[in-house]
Amino acid sequence: MEFVRTAIPDVVLIKPTVHGDHRGYFVETFRQDALASFLGFSVAFCQDNESKSSKGVLRGLHYQLPPFAQTKLVRVIQGSVLDIALDIRQGSPTFGRHVSVCLSEANKHQLLVPRGFAHGFVVLEEETVFAYKVDNYYSPENDRGIAYNDPNLGIDWQLPHEALKLSAKDTTQPSFNEAKDFFSYGVNYYG
């Protein structure tokens, strides 16, 4: 398992080792000890989630406020997505910047998105299954979001606007500048 810091160092790309032969493949998708060794501390995941979506479905950009903020470890089981982690830690040198990574069934890569980041993804293939671990439970009262199409963020979702499929909630999120509930930089947001 290889751990790679992205352009925003707190967001980590994880490249599992795939062992394959004529029968198929085997891959370890999570090792608490390896992740803790890389980070220097443990993340206590408490829940696994899974969604199935069709091409063009865009989910995000979402986050939860403390004390219900979540670290996410995301991956694709089937299909592919463009995954986005947006830094919303006020005072951070990368505040307002994002990391964009393709996660797919083929590459088996994962992205570790710490607390203090808004997260979203767009589905690039039909029949895509997205799975993720979180280190905190969902709290509807603390659920927040940012407009996926805010031009100030400069996110290229790699699909034309007319191909995107959004929930009613995601069509009415505030812009980055209008959003009020951000995090403070300098706190360990892995949980």
The residues that are catalytic are 62, 132
Find out whether 73 and 128 touch, Cβ atoms under 8 Å.
Answer: no
How big is the chain, counted in residues? Answer: 191
CA-to-CA distance for 117 and 189, rounded, in angstroms? 9
The three-state (H, E, C) secondary structure of 129-189, written as one string: EEEEEECCCCCHHHEEECCCCCCCCCCCCCCCHHHCECCCHHHCCCCCCCCCCCEECCCCC
Residue with tokens 């590459």: 107
Classify 127 as helix, strand or coil. coil
Per the CB < 8 A criterion, the answer to whether 132 and 75 are in contact is: yes
State how far the Cα of 14 lies from the Cα of 137, in Å rounded to an integer.
23
